[in-house]
Structure 1
Amino acid sequence: MKARLRRPAALLAGSLIPLSLLIGPPAGAASADPMADAFAGSAATYEVPRDLLVALAYSETHLDGHHGAPSASGGYGVMHLVSNPTTHTLEQAAKLTSEPVETLKTDDAANIAGGAAVLRAHADALGLDATARKDPANWYTAVARYGNASSPEVARLYADTVYDLLANGVNTAAPSGTVTVRPQAVQPDRGDYAQARDLNAPRLAAAVDYPGAKWVAASSSNYTVSNRPSSNAIDRIVIHVTQGSYAGTISWFQNPAAQVSAHYVVRSSDGDVTQMVREKDRAWHARDWNTRSVGIEHEGYVNDASWFTDAMYRSSAALTRNVADRYGIPKDRAHIVGHAEVPGNDHTDPGPNWDWTRYMQYVNGTTTTWSTIVDNTTAGRFTASANWGTSTYSGQRYGADYRYAEPVTASDTAWYRAAIPATATYRVEAWYPATSGYNTAAPYIVTTSSGNKTVYVDQRTGGGAWRTIGTFTLNAGDYNVVGVSRWTAGTGLIVADAVRITRL
């Protein structure tokens, strides 16, 4: 049964909440989307921006409550309400909503209400009044505190992830329904967190064992100082799944109560890598094999394949290949193993959704892929109306120039045509120059086998490089595969430069 949203008198004293929000829809009215209704109702009841609430939940769990099973750090439900030796947001939510702890663990609507109540409590502690609460930009510090991070830099990483989702939008079929967030430009007020180290910024390669990683130290209570490979040979690489979010896992490994760690953590969305334990030291990740192995954690949950992106596979495979080459570890499945395959362990990760075939192909470089790049100057492959201008303004452009146009309430799409060799899965990437005057939500349209899919890209950032739009099933044939539309609520000039399509 869907949990009833309760109004906590102490939390919202003096607020006037419409009766309809407290009692739900009229009797007999069926909800077509229970999870979407739960977010809307909880956001209204606790005066939390609805889209921010969804983005926070998606960053934690991809809107999957996992049937009441806890994450590795003891978090429950869609909103990842935590109960562990140092954090008790689950119990706090129970107090704020008057819902039993067991209900909060297993009922999506109750859990979402609990998360909204906890987030609102942080806002109240920060002194956000009714006017300030209406602007998502003012909630940054409350979001950072919600993540219960172990350090300011990880709290910033956590909050930045949520606001990145707001910028890019969320469109997901959650287990209980479809929940969407439109892309929106929000410039968060980071407050004191603006002074914290930005873990998404370029890093010094000399500070880590793997040049592609950033360094965030695990608690010294969670690993054993050693002198490998002098003390113990390193001859295995163990693949794990975090059962939690990227920032949450980093924070958990920094918590002395965790009594667990890994050498590396890999992010789902873009393959970002954080090193937390030196390879010479023994991370606590594989029991008897801690002495001989390097452990790599991957953001996500074993039972949800949506976390295992191509960007994650490729980034992790590059890391594994680097470690294997440096220690002379054979790049095969006898030496690169899942946690479930380590003797004496009762874990199931990385689980049946992990694509070992693809992963090992990436590790060994044995994949044979088809790829094509279509620039705005590629003869016979790019079309755009006269409304699209030509510019050489930015040095971040691909090739000689690029096209641009003002946003309008009409498609007027600039199209990239390609000869797709076979019906299969392809990665689509875009290249564009980025400036503060370009569009906050440029619509990229991909012609997939199941219809057009639109992905919104913030063209103010990430320019001068290939940026992944997503992976899609494309039909074989020669046709307009990717388009850039002018129809968007975003602000700023829309840019069409180049696209790259790669078979996976």
Structure 2
Amino acid sequence: MIPAPTSRRARLALGGLLALVTALSAPVAAASPASADPSRAPAGGGPPASAFDAASARYDVPRDLLVAIGYAETRLDMHAGTPSASGGHGLMHLVHTRTLDEAASLTGLAPAALRTEPAANVLGAAAVLRAYADQAGLTATGRDDLGRWYGPVARYGGAREAPTARLYADTVYDLLRTGFTSERGERVAGRAVVPQRGALERTPSPDGVGILSTDYPPAAWAPASTSNYTVASRPGSHPVNYVVIHMTQGSYAGSISWFQNPAAQVSAHYTFRSSDGAVTQSVREKDIAWHAGNWTYNTQSIGIEHEGYVDNPAWFTDAMYRASAALTRSLTAKYGIPRDRAHVIGHVEVPGATHTDPGPNWNWTYYMQLVNGVTGIGSGTVNTSSANLNVRSGPGTGYPVVGSVAAGATVSIYCQAAGTTVSGPYGTSNVWNRIGTNRWVADAYVLTGHSGYIPGVPRC
């Protein structure tokens, strides 16, 4: 049963909400191109914006707070109903034995619907957050203040350690401050918000979770549970011959928290954040993290996790590539590991691996260039008839514009691919140059000394 409305706003929305929940298992007709609004009907399994509106009104939880939590957890992606590495389901990351079970009790919805139906998933998250707010003593007036939701948000993240709880909540509040637009069209405008952290105010900030690492100075230190790794004295006890690259299949804070859960039976030495390349160490390099699924490789490798999901390239940012490559470069120098693909490998390449990460969206060419200190294989000078040349997220005019480069600028070219045919100052060409992660310009606008593909520059 859905509990009775507790406010006039909730009562007004209840009819629409009941219709939404009733329709969860019914087929949904696709909107026509002429009438579709991309900001209201996200693609790829996300819920309509009305799901956030209705859940917000029903439980008196700020709508943008719900969207920000979903964006921080999954980029608002249902991931085809598959759970995260830490057992979270749906775009709001409802976790079995915790938030998922609480959501089922509070909403009366079946766990299967909460796991797999986007609107139910959002509704369940709102119910749990409202219950946490009530238990924290938030009144109706208090619930109108975004800053006072900090405690419930930190609790929703499920961290066992205070620094990680703050890391989780601060990530959500950073999104509220800066604003964002998801790939699925959900928009949250930035606003001035002052998080009321309570007891967590005295906890170290996420830029210094606990103390800093003694192995790698840029990293924060948030130790994994001793149940999730083996104490050793490497490289004396075991040689370190490999770096293994992973994807978390979950969020940055959630993965660090999972390593601190004794039931996880998994860990990694380092974890990188997608947005800015921040890094946290959870296992000392001398010790054996349980990350590869192969004991021999566990004993001989350093495991590096990267925030995100293998099926969504939006997580693979240039900041994360560069920060991770800097660590790998440092590790290879420290332990004498060759900087090649036989020794810097993906989890999928470990013998007997059952995982596919880092997946087909991981750009090994670019990553290894960074590991080896290569800042660009080719270069060219931009020429446009206007002030700037559009930079797109892929090799073609159909990809979104993600920035620009000024006329006369010199750009590094990491690889090239065939895309949309474009006519420019240097002729007509379907060749596109990648000048950064998810950053492309048409070769017809770049003077490289060659027409089309540049000798020595790899195909992407």
**1:304 matched residue in structure 2:** 312
Paired with 2:219 and 2:332, the residues of 1 have a C-alpha distance of: 16
Paired with 1:229 and 1:421, the residues of 2 have a C-alpha distance of: 43
One of 157, 160, 166 as aligned partner of 2:170: 160
* % identical aligned pairs: 54
**2:342 matched residue in structure 1:** 334
Paired with 1:20 and 1:320, the residues of 2 have a C-alpha distance of: 52
Structure 1 position 74 matched with structure 2 position 87: yes
Q: For residue 18 of structure 1, report the CA deviation from its aligned partner.
A: 2.8
What does 1:378-397 correspond to in 2, within 5 Å? none
What does 1:239-254 correspond to in 2, within 5 Å? 239-254=245-260
Paired with 1:417 and 1:349, the residues of 2 have a C-alpha distance of: 37
Structure 1 position 276 matched with structure 2 position 286: no
Structure 1 position 35 matched with structure 2 position 48: yes
* Greater helix proportion: 2
SS in structure 2 of the partner of residue 22 of structure 1:
helix
Is the alpha carbon distance of 1:44 and 1:358 closer, same or farther for their aligned partners in structure 2, counting shifts above 3 Å? same
**1:192 matched residue in structure 2:** 199
- Computed over aligned residues only, the root mean square deviation of the Cα atoms, in angstroms, reads 3.1
Q: For residue 73 of structure 1, report the CA deviation from its aligned partner.
A: 0.7
Structure 1 position 257 matched with structure 2 position 267: no
Q: Which amino acid is the alignment partner of residue 274 of structure 1?
A: T
Is the alpha carbon distance of 1:208 and 1:58 closer, same or farther for their aligned partners in structure 2, counting shifts above 3 Å? same
Q: Deviations over 1:343-366 (max 9, x none)?
A: 122111111111111111111112
Q: Deviations over 1:356-382 (max 9, x none)?
A: 11111111112327699xxxxxxxx99
Structure 1 position 229 matched with structure 2 position 248: no
Q: For residue 35 of structure 1, report the CA deviation from its aligned partner.
A: 2.4
**1:179 matched residue in structure 2:** 186
What does 1:482-493 correspond to in 2, within 5 Å? none
Contact 1:265 1:298 survives alignment (8 Å): yes
SS in structure 1 of the partner of residue 408 of structure 2:
strand
**1:102 matched residue in structure 2:** 112
SS in structure 1 of the partner of residue 137 of structure 2:
coil
Is the alpha carbon distance of 1:306 and 1:166 closer, same or farther for their aligned partners in structure 2, counting shifts above 3 Å? same
**1:419 matched residue in structure 2:** 408
Q: Deviations over 1:49-68 (max 9, x none)?
A: 11111011100000001111
Q: Which amino acid is the alignment partner of residue 167 of structure 1?
A: R
Structure 2: which 5+ residue stretches go unaligned?
Answer: 42-46, 382-386, 389-403, 416-421, 423-435, 447-459
Q: For residue 36 of structure 1, report the CA deviation from its aligned partner.
A: 1.3
What does 1:79-478 correspond to in 2, within 5 Å? 79-83=92-96, 87-174=97-184, 178-201=185-208, 207-286=213-292, 287-288=294-295, 289-368=297-376, 417-420=406-409, 472-474=439-441
Contact 2:114 2:124 survives alignment (8 Å): yes
Paired with 1:132 and 1:140, the residues of 2 have a C-alpha distance of: 12
SS in structure 2 of the partner of residue 240 of structure 1:
strand
Q: For residue 471 of structure 1, report the CA deviation from its aligned partner.
A: 6.0
Is the alpha carbon distance of 1:350 and 1:417 closer, same or farther for their aligned partners in structure 2, counting shifts above 3 Å? closer
Paired with 1:204 and 1:141, the residues of 2 have a C-alpha distance of: 23
Q: Which amino acid is the alignment partner of residue 277 of structure 1?
A: V
One of 10, 34, 41 as aligned partner of 1:17: 10
TM-score normalised by structure 1 residue count: 0.71
Runs of 4+ in 1 over 6 A off after TM superposition: 25-31, 422-426
Structure 1: which 5+ residue stretches go unaligned?
Answer: 1-5, 373-380, 383-414, 427-448, 450-468, 479-503
Q: Which amino acid is the alignment partner of residue 186 of structure 1?
A: V
Is the alpha carbon distance of 1:252 and 1:188 closer, same or farther for their aligned partners in structure 2, counting shifts above 3 Å? same
Q: For residue 124 of structure 1, report the CA deviation from its aligned partner.
A: 0.6
Contact 1:425 1:474 survives alignment (8 Å): no
TM-score normalised by structure 2 residue count: 0.77
SS in structure 2 of the partner of residue 18 of structure 1:
helix
Paired with 2:380 and 2:256, the residues of 1 have a C-alpha distance of: 35
